[in-house]
Structure 1
Amino acid sequence: MTVSAHAAPWPVRAVIVTTFEVGHDTGDAPGEAQFWIERLHLTEKLDFPGGTHPILASPDHRIVLIETGMSLINAGISTMALGLDPRFDLKQAYWLVAGIGGIDPAAGAIGSAVWVQHTINDTAQEIDLREAPKGWAYARYVSDTHGPGTLEGAEHDLGPDGPYPLVFTLNPDLARFAWCHSRDKAVAASDDMKRFGVRYGGAAAQPPSVLLGDSFASDIYWHGAIQTHYAEDWVKLLTHGAGRFMISDMEDSAVAEALWRLNRMGRASFDRLMILRTASNYTVQPPGETAIQSVLAPYPGGGKPAFEAAFRAGNAVLDALLATWPAMPAKDTCR
Structure 2
Amino acid sequence: MKYVFLALSLLVSVSTYGVEKKPIAVKVFIAGMFEIGANQGDKAGEFQHWFERYFTNSEPLIVKGALGPVFCNQDGVCGSVLGMGKVASSSSMQAIILNEQLDFTHSYFVISGVGGIPPSKGTIGDVNWGSWLIDYDLGHRWMPAEGKPGEPVFMPRQGYEDIRRYQLNSALVNWAVMLTQNVQLMDSPDAQAYRMRYPQTQARRKPAVTVGSHIAGDTFFHGPGLSAEAQYISQLYGADDYMIAEMEGVAIAQVLSRTVGIDRMLSLRGAVNFDQGNPNESTLAHLDPAPGETAGGFAETVENIVFVGANVVDTIVDKWPDFKNGFKTE
- Indicate the SS of the match to 2:218: coil
Q: Distance in 2 between matches of 1:283 and 1:157?
A: 26
Q: Is the 8 A contact 2:29 2:108 kept in 1?
A: yes
Q: Percent identity?
A: 26
Partner of 2:52: 38
Match of 1:266 in 2: none
1:279 and 2:271 aligned: yes
Alignment match, 1:17: 31
Which of these residues, 299, 309, 315, is aligned with residue 314 of structure 1? 309
2:67 to 34, 37, 52: 52
1:161-200 to structure 2, matched below 5 A, reads: 165-200=163-198
Residue type matched to 1:62 in 2?
A: G
Determine whether 1:109 maps to 2:108.
no
Displacement over 4 Å in runs of 4+: none
Q: Secondary structure at the match of 1:105?
A: coil
Give the stretch that moved more between structures: 296-305 or 189-198: 296-305
CA-based RMSD of the aligned residues comes to 1.8
User: Structure 2 counterpart of 1:9, which letter?
Assistant: P
Match of 1:288 in 2: 280
Per-residue CA deviation, residues 215-254 of structure 1 (Å, 9 max, x unaligned), is: 1011001110101010111111112xx4100001000000
State the AA in 1 paired with 2:231. Answer: E
Task: Compute the TM-score of the two structures, normalised by the length of structure 2.
Answer: 0.87
Q: Which residue of 1 aligns with 2:147?
A: 133
Give the secondary-structure state (helix, strand or coil) at the position aligned to 2:60. Answer: strand
**Gapped regions of structure 2 (runs ≥ 5):** 1-16
Q: Does 1:67 find its partner at 2:81?
A: yes
| Aligned match of 2:250 | 253
Deviation, structure 1 residue 138: 4.9
Please say which structure displays the higher CA radius of gyration. Answer: 2
CA contact (8 A) 1:138 1:226 kept: no
Question: 1:322, CA displacement in angstroms?
Answer: 1.6
Which residue is 1:152 aligned to? none
Question: For the Cα contact (< 8 Å) 2:30–2:112, is it kept in 1?
Answer: yes
1:300 is paired with a residue whose SS is coil
CA distance in 2, matches of 1:230, 1:306: 26
Deviation digits for residues 31-68 of structure 1, max 9, x if unmatched? 0010011122343211122111121222x161111111
Under a length normalisation based on structure 1, what TM-score does the superposition of the two structures give?
A: 0.86
For the 8 Å contact 1:214–1:246, the answer to whether it is kept is yes
